[in-house]
Structure 1
């Protein structure tokens, strides 16, 4: 049995950890959406579709947000200075 569960985590603990991780991912996604929406879109909508400037802005914003999130994760995990 130890081979199938090397960390000694039972099902309840595994589900609890997965639930917490999912909550964090949803919170991260919501913050990313709010941040990039505020940065890339005007308050009033002119068109029903995104223009090239908005598409480019949202692409850069999401990329930078994930990059910074990963950098912070590496620093908090004790990995020292992450490489860029």
Structure 2
């Protein structure tokens, strides 16, 4: 077994778990910001119906798409890549 093929020790496992925890926190925060932003932009403040109408659905689709495109472009720039991660 090569040195790089060894199983992680306890400290490495804790570091990996900590990184995964931070990643999850980041994703939840991103989702919450996206939801809040697109909801405020696209949904009327006075509810008339129990379901989203076609205009609200279209607005949310465009908002989420643009938001995600901006986020992935920023991440790509931060990572120094010309192509954002998927």
TM-score by length of 1: 0.86
- 1:72-83 paired onto structure 2 within 5 Å: 72-79=74-81, 81-82=82-83
1:56 aligned partner:
58
Residue by residue over 1:18-60, the C-alpha shift from the partner in whole angstroms, topping out at 9 and shown as x without a partner, is 0000000000000000000011011110000110000000001
- 1:24-43 paired onto structure 2 within 5 Å: 24-43=26-45
TM-score by length of 2: 0.84
1:71 aligned partner:
73
Instruction: Go from structure 1 to structure 2 and tell me whether the alpha carbon gap of 1:4 and 1:42 turns closer, same or farther (over 3 Å shift).
Output: farther
Deviation at 1:68?
Answer: 0.4
Can you give the 5+ residue segments of structure 1 that lack an aligned partner in the other structure?
none
2:29 matches 1:22: no
Can you give the 5+ residue segments of structure 2 that lack an aligned partner in the other structure?
none
- Count of matched residue positions in the alignment of Structure 1 and Structure 2: 80
